[in-house]
A and B are shown apart, each in its own frame.
Chain A
Amino acid sequence: MSKKVLIIGAGVAGLEASGVLSKLGYNVTIVEESDRIGGKLNRWSHLFPSRRPASEVLEHLQLNLDPNTVIITNSKITDIAVKDTSIEASLNTGKHIDADAVLISTGFELFDAKKKEEYGYQIYENVITSADLEKIFKEGKELTTSKGKAPKRIGIIHCVGSRDEKVGNTYCSKVCCVTGVKQAIEIKEHLSSCEVFNFYMDLRMYDRHFEDLYQEAQVKHHVQFIRGRLSEAFENPDGTVMVKVEDTLLGKPMKMNLDLVVLLVGMTAGNNSLFKKQLRLETGTDKFLVPADEHFKSVSSKQKGVFFAGACTGPKTIENTITEARAAALEIAGYLKN
């Protein structure tokens, strides 16, 4: 009888690992909290830096799934324990699952922009998040102000919930800078006469083709980049938002009225309390899970038979997540053979 692997979370990491493990001959069960598979990929319209439709990537992941894979949606793990060489898990539906190894691919949560109250999310009418903007693009809706008018000036605010001691997140979420550049271009493509300003601390265009996208935004679309962190946002009587910011390249404080403000929300760790308590897994000061070794066991936990893939161990791009999911699948196969 072939050995069984339990995957927690049917996002990019979980689906990709599942495909590889099935090909290697293991029986896979995936438990997913929400009602569908694909995780946060479902919320993306187009991906950076190639602007490839997110649906294409999702389709690919689904095609790779083995028909015998058991996918349990709308379910949550309530108890999990490692017993000798097996893993026993219970679901909130009362179901029990036995497996020989478990892959944690629970991903991340979006930073709750309401916690950065000074930016006025859900208080001011014309403040939205990057996730809201992506949804508008995905649903093919018109980008308008709260009064239904076409915005003439949009500000994109970087590092909301990232690199910010005040909200308790000191780390970089890695993907927001390039998302901000991508979305600025997309806005310009929809509304060519609209002015777009990106307010940033540093632009971290670290990966292949990121810099190209940044160039394109400036040269082709005339997106303006202002180095400075927002100190405060204020709603004018007409619903526009006045932002106060210091332009740190010019060394001057400035105020600007914007028709629409987009907050680039970062990644935060999911709720790992169950894993911490029952599997005795560690989390870092950033609250993400900690792998057994940062170089050589980046997809293994310190607990026997428990593995990691994707953003549960820190912010990652989809490409990195897929690579990690495959690495995890091979690591699991190696573990189960011995």
Chain B
Amino acid sequence: MFDWFVLPFTLGLVFLLGFIAWKFTSWIKSLTQEDQEKLVKSLATRKTLVSIREIISESLLHRKIFKTNRMLGYMHMSLAFGWLLLILAGNLESRIFNHGEMGPPYVPIFFRFFHPNPEIFRFHQEFSFLMDLLLVFVLSGVALAYYKRLNSKFLGLKKTTKHVMGDRIALTALWFIFPLRLLAESFSSGAFGGGSFLTSTTGSFLNSFLPSEILYYPFWLAYSSALGMFFVALPFSRYMHIPTETLLIVLRNAGIKEQKSHTGFTDVELNSCSRCGICIDSCQLSSAAAINNVQSVYQLRDIRYNTVDQDRSLNCLMCGRCDQACPVGIDIAAIRQIKRNELNPGMKEEYSYVHPAKAQQADVVYFAGCMSHLTPSIKHSVVQSFKKGGINFWFMDETESICCGRPLLLAGKSEEAKALMQKNKTAIEQSHAKALVTNCPICYKMFKNEYGLDIPVYHHSQYFAGLIENNLMQLEKQNITAVYHDPCELGRGSNVYKEPRKVLNQALTLISAEEEGEKSLCCGGSLGNTTISTEQRNKITQDACDTLLKQNPDVLITSCPLCKKTFQKVSDVPVYDLAEIVNGAIVINTKNKSKANQNSKIIKKELLEEEISNQTYPD
């Protein structure tokens, strides 16, 4: 069974399989030694089953995209799952027909060409019906894809991705494959009979005014050519994500992660991006500041094709909202960070003039951080709360402050960051403290993940929550309503969502914000972005603030000095840090109650109103 028209398909398929084999091998080879061992160990274990389940639910059924938008999910599922079923059913049909023989791979694909009306075969009607049904399923997805180009909002996407040349070729081929298959099968049916409810109907319709006997061959050739073109263009297009995502799932389930520098895993992640564009809609640079060429989809694309622009790499808030939204689960922030490290070869470090303060012996080290020195109400409140709670602490950066190192790290200058970190680390160790507390989520993330300290590191919200839980601290409930803003570095960055709410619920009434928890917006003040203009930043801040204040709370509360400072610029209601609330509502015990109230700046409703009116008519 052979005809010359099958060549484009067959050659394309051979090329594609060869290419995938070569790429997969080279990626696995460029994994670190440790990761390769992890991969080998994970094979043929329970992890394999987990991978298979995930491949079915994500690569075929696209469960996560369904969660974002049902129509978009259906589109992806009908194309991926529908196509696979078409291949499987076609294979089965061809096998039964050929009495179990496999034959060359093009046989099931072009079955209707070779056997337009296979009446000799037992389940031929059922198979004809099934194949037509699956074709309708796939074609409905193709129709949605056409429509998505015209109206992306219908599929839940405000913006759709701009494509590269390889994408356009592959996309065009993909768009033609199934309509051509429909026409080819229809003409065969028109000329020789056969087919089911779809192909036989369209076949007799077309045959009524077109010469099917002449047209069927060119359409089978066109169908084969479209398939061949798609296979050849696939490795150079976003459709490389189809095979690569399966490898990504296997590697991820083996426990392999992004490292500090580019590895084979990074390549696998880059090629797993389908450029669906879901990350564009989650990006505040796009929604609030009209910056549309820096989003993760473009960053990953530029890294993959080696066309990275430094300014665009740095124009990102590193807020992590796209990480959260990515249906493939690519570790986008880590990949951007790797690129930044490569783009910033570093400078000669000169920190000999920086001296940490002389270490003092204490139970707790308190580190305020640079941003808290610019928001003195916060450090003041933390210190007062500690004093009221009788905590034996050393305010490490009270007068001599050294940066925690995060801004340098985010800018890709990891060696310089290390030099600063060592100075802080030495001072912390010399204090022999049992815990480190900081009120800055940026510092918190650094101390916790990068310093390798032997003592626990707490964000002040966690520390206060612990004190309250152990009855070492009590808060008095005030009659005010508040919205809590999750800072990126604390929420998505460090997974601390519960403790701040636990503390605040003791002191006031929290109302929920529109976008909170994992979906929390970035305040716009992020240290991660070094190229954005102030005007664009302000737009992001205004937009985030408007969203937070939709329920008209009395106050806006956050637990990051940078977020506080950023929101203060635009907020119509007072902005406080969690520490200020704690300090205002703190009750040590009933005996000292009056004293505590006297000492603290209590935020009572009347005071607030005065403050609000002062903002409208300043003195």
Cα of A109 to Cα of B538 in the assembled complex, Å? 20
* Chain B binder among A112-120, A221-229, A298-306, A329-337: A112-120
Determine how close the nearest CB of chain B comes to the CB of A15; give it in whole angstroms: 19
Chain B residue nearest in CB terms to A112? B618
Chain A 158-201, CB-CB to B under 8 Å as 1, else 0, gives 00000001011010000000000000000000000000000000
Assess whether B569 is interfacial by the CB under 8 Å rule: yes
Known: A117-B376, A117-B568, A235-B376. A165 touches B399 (CB 8 A): no
Residue A256 lies at the interface, judged by CB distance under 8 Å to chain B? no
Within 8 A of A (CB), among B351-384: 373-377, 380
Selected from B373, B374, B376, B534, the residue in CB contact (under 8 A) with A124 is B376
Chain A residues whose CB sits within 8 angstroms of the CB of B374 once the complex forms: 117-118, 232
Q: Do residues A123 and B380 form an inter-chain contact, with CB atoms below 8 A?
A: yes
B568 near A115 (CB under 8 angstroms)?
yes
Complex CA distance for A79 and B595, rounded to whole angstroms: 49
A131 sits at the interface (CB 8 A): yes
Looking at the complex, which one of B376, B616, B618 makes contact with A118 (CB distance below 8 Å)? B376
Interface membership of B519, Cβ < 8 A: no
Say whether A110 faces chain B, with CB atoms less than 8 Å apart: yes
B615 interfacial by beta-carbon distance below 8 Å? yes
Partner of B618, one of A33, A110, A123, A170: A110
- The docked-state distance in angstroms from the alpha carbon of A233 to that of B569 is 19
A285 within 8 A of B: yes
In the complex, what distance in Å separates the CA atom of A243 from the CA atom of B534?
A: 26
B565 within 8 A of A: yes
Question: Is residue B535 contacting chain A, with contact meaning CB distance below 8 A?
Answer: yes
Tell me the residues in window 99-125 of chain A with beta carbons closer than 8 Å to chain B beta carbons.
109-112, 114-115, 117-118, 120, 123-124
State the interface size on chain B (CB cutoff 8 A).
20
Contact A109 B569, beta carbon cutoff 8 Å: no
Q: B614 to chain A: which residues have CB within 8 Å?
A: 112
- Expressed in whole angstroms, the Cα–Cα distance for A114 and B534 within the complex equals 20
Is A33 a contact partner of B617 (Cβ separation < 8 A)? yes
Chain A's interface size range is: 20 to 34
Task: Enumerate chain A residues within 8 angstroms of B399, measured Cβ to Cβ.
Answer: 234
Q: A123-B380, A167-B569 are in contact. Are A118 and B538 (CB under 8 A)?
A: no
- A218 is an interface residue with CB less than 8 A from chain B: no
Inter-chain contacts of A109 with B (CB < 8 A): 617-618
**Is residue A317 within 8 Å, beta carbon to beta carbon, of the partner chain?**
no
Q: Are A123 and B377 neighbours in the complex by a CB distance under 8 Å?
A: yes
A324 CB → nearest B CB, Å: 23
Interface presence of A271 (CB below 8 A): yes
B377 & A118 in contact (Cβ 8 Å cutoff): no
Tell me if B619 is interfacial: C-beta within 8 Å of chain A.
yes
Instruction: Let me know if B534 and A118 touch, CB within 8 A.
Output: no
The docked-state distance in angstroms from the alpha carbon of A234 to that of B372 is: 11
Which A residues from 232 to 246 make CB contacts under 8 A with B? 232-235
Q: Which residue of chain B has the shortest Cβ distance to A111 in the bound complex?
A: B618
- Determine if B375 and A117 form an interchain contact, defined as CB atoms under 8 angstroms apart: yes
B615: chain A residues within 8 A (beta carbon): 112
A117-B377 contact given A167-B569, A168-B569, CB 8 Å threshold: yes
Interface pair A232/B373, CB less than 8 Å apart? yes
Expressed in whole angstroms, the Cα–Cα distance for A170 and B533 within the complex equals 13
B 524-544 contacts with A by CB, 8 A: 534-535, 538
Which A residues lie within 8 Å of B568 (CB)? 114-115, 117
Q: Are B373 and A234 in contact (CB under 8 A)?
A: yes
List 26 interface pairs A-B (beta carbons < 8 Å), by A numbering.
Answer: A109-B618, A111-B618, A112-B615, A112-B618, A114-B568, A117-B375, A117-B376, A117-B565, A117-B568, A118-B374, A118-B376, A120-B376, A123-B376, A123-B377, A124-B376, A165-B534, A168-B534, A168-B538, A168-B569, A170-B534, A232-B373, A232-B374, A233-B376, A234-B376, A235-B376, A285-B535
Please report B residues at the A interface, Cβ cutoff 8 Å.
Answer: 373-377, 380, 399, 534-535, 538, 565, 568-570, 614-619
